[in-house]
Structure 1
């Protein structure tokens, strides 16, 4: 287990490169925009299905 941890730390130090601050900021904006768009799409589909279910049960019960 210790060997695995040592090798993992060594790999992180030697082989992993972090993006620049500017690139990280740009990627954060992209993720935020797509998250908001996905949330709005989910809300829209949920609203449509909710209304369809209400219409269905209003017609079945009356």
Structure 2
């Protein structure tokens, strides 16, 4: 049990004293960039999926006839 407590204590000390954290304003800006990119990428995937679905439906209507 002492090993776990020691590990947590050392981890906390490492995060507090030895890690260089990104400034808050930059972290917020980068978060917005990630959100915008994710929305654009998901819309592009949705658009491509919609086009391919339509093409496949059209193909199968031609094959059935």
Q: Same fold (TM over 0.5)?
A: yes
Instruction: Name stretches of at least 5 consecutive residues in structure 1 with no aligned partner.
Output: none
Unaligned runs of 5+ in 2: none
TM-score, scaled to structure 2: 0.78
1:4 matches 2:24: no
C-alpha distance in structure 2 between counterparts of 1:57 and 1:3, whole Å: 65
CA RMSD of aligned residues (A): 1.4
Report the number of matched residues.
62
Q: Give the TM-score normalised by the residue count of structure 1.
A: 0.80
Which segments of structure 1 move beyond 3 Å, counting only runs of 4 or more?
Answer: none
